[in-house]
Every structure is written in C-alpha cells, then in structure tokens.
Amino acid sequence: MPENRASFSRAQMKQRLRGVYTALITPFRDGAVDEKCLRDLVEIQVASGVDGLVPAGTTGESPTLSHEENVRVIRVCVEAAKGRLPVLAGTGSNSTSEALDLSRRARDAGADGLLVVAPYYNRPTQRGLILHYEAIMREVDLPLVLYNIPGRTGVNVEPETIFALKRTGNLAGVKEASGLADQVSKIVELCGPDLSVLSGDDSLTLPFMAVGAVGVISVVSNVAPRETHDMVRAWRDGRRDDAMALHRRLFPLVKALFSETNPVPVKTALSMMGKCLPDLRLPLAPMEEGNAARLLSAMRAFGLKA
C-alpha cells in the first residue's frame, strides 16, 4: 500500500499542469544529499509563486543518484512542499523495469505525478517507446509527463507516438526539449488541449507558448523564480509586451546558465547566491573559469549579485 497520498487528485493535476515547474537542483554536502538545503530551496520556490516542483530530474543530477537517494529526494520535496505545490517526480531510466520501480516508489512517497524521460542510449523504436510508457502507466496510476529530449537520449519521441500514448494511457503532458516549434505545433494539433505541453528549454518558453505550450519546466527559475513565473503568467493573461520584456531581461541569464552542461552553471549560480554549496558529482566538473566569470557578470546584470 502507498505510504503517503498525493496532495493533488488526477483532476486537479490536469488543471495545474501549466505555468512554471522548477526543475530543482539536488544540493550535496560532504558527498551526501543536503536535505536541509533542499527544504530551504523548496521554501524559496513556494514563496516565489511558481506552479510546481520537479525533484530528481536531470537538473537534480538524477544520473548520479542511487535509487535510494532518488526516492529520498522526492520524499523530502513532498514533505517540504506540504501540499502547497504539486510535485512532479523524476523517475525515468533507460530500463523499463527500473523506471517502473522508481515510479512506484515515487507514488508511495506522495508524488503528485511523474516526469519520465525517454529511454536513453539504447535508442528504442517508436513502438518500443510506446510499450515502455504503457508499462509504466498501466502499473502506476499517476499523471505522467513524458520528457522528450533527443539531444540527450538519442531518440525523438514523435508526435504520432505521443498521440498514441494519450489515447491508450494516462499521459497528462509532455516536456518538449527537441527545440522544434514544429514539433510542439504538431503535438498540439494531434492531442488538443487535454494534453499539457511544457517547454523543456527556458529560452524557447515564449516561442513554444505562441504555438500552444502552456508553460515550462524551468532551470532558470531556480535562481529567478518570480521573474520566470511573471513572464509565463503575463503571456497567458494576454499581456504580451510585458512577457516579451521579461523574456528579454531573462535571456542573457538563461544563455549563461547553459554555457556548460546543465546543471553545472545553475548550481554554480546558486552557490554564488549563498543558497547551496557548489558540490557536484562526477562526471560533472566545476565550471571553467572563463564561463564562471561570464555567469557572474550575467547575474550581476540581472540583479542577483551585487
């Protein structure tokens, strides 16, 4: 039996799967997950008005977390959120059995939904992708957001595949990080408003929303949650000039945060702000000195550093 219940029902999640979901970093101290720091980061996000939290994703260095750590990070996030924000737990793997196990354990930890990246490295066919996601949706009755990021996985989840999964399972949304507005347009055309499309790239949030996306799973909102939230809300409310002004303000910071492999720059930025230690797990390494200097300059220009 599940140990905890989700804070939000499936119907509530369907309504809430929009806006800004912050892809949280996982802070470390002395080689272990820094749970106090993680709780503090959740409080910052709640106070800043974002719409949801995503622990144990790629930004949370999930490839370097043990399964026990992965589940613990999700549980700590759920406990810290206290039902104030939905928690979309990262539970993906290139092994279906592992993704299924993590998804079950995330459900039992009280997660409100799942973020499941397409299987990486083994490059399944579209039929294999369908079978992978169907197996998880069949066994774990939580809203599932499919994470499509071909640059990291080596396979693109085609819009027709997403449509097939929407018809056969409890697919609630897609985090689209292909970088292709055409793909977002096709997903929206095929699946309609019942499927939430969220940008997986901060720099493309507004372009994707212009063709039907309803928000973003964001990295920059780790350091600028209020501004990211206000940008997305302004666009959704029809205040396009305000949204564009915020986009232009955020854009240099976003580019600096992706000057090296995510999450190295965003964790570096948070450490510069005194929010966490800069500790990473190999094979991720500290930022190159020149890139770190450019990041600091962008942060100062944005007002994050004196």
- Tell me which residues are annotated as active site: 147, 175
User: Which amino acid, 255?
Assistant: K
CA distance 302 to 251: 10
CA distance 136 to 144: 9
- The structure tokens 């997986």 sit at 200
Query: Using CB atoms within 10 A of its CB, is residue 226 exposed (0-12), middle (13-18) or buried (19+)?
Result: middle
User: Which amino acid, 123?
Assistant: R
The pair of three-digit structure tokens given for residue 256, joined into one six-digit string: 């600096």
CA distance 207 to 220: 16
- Give the DSSP letter string of 33-100: E-HHHHHHHHHHHHHHT-SEEE-SSTTTTGGGS-HHHHHHHHHHHHHHHTTSS-BEEE---SSHHHHH
CB atoms inside a 10 Å sphere around CB 145: 26
CB atoms inside a 10 Å sphere around CB 206: 21
* DSSP 8-state assignment for residue 118: P
CA distance 95 to 300: 42
For 169, residues 6+ apart whose C-beta sits below 8 A from its C-beta are 133, 134, 137, 138, 144
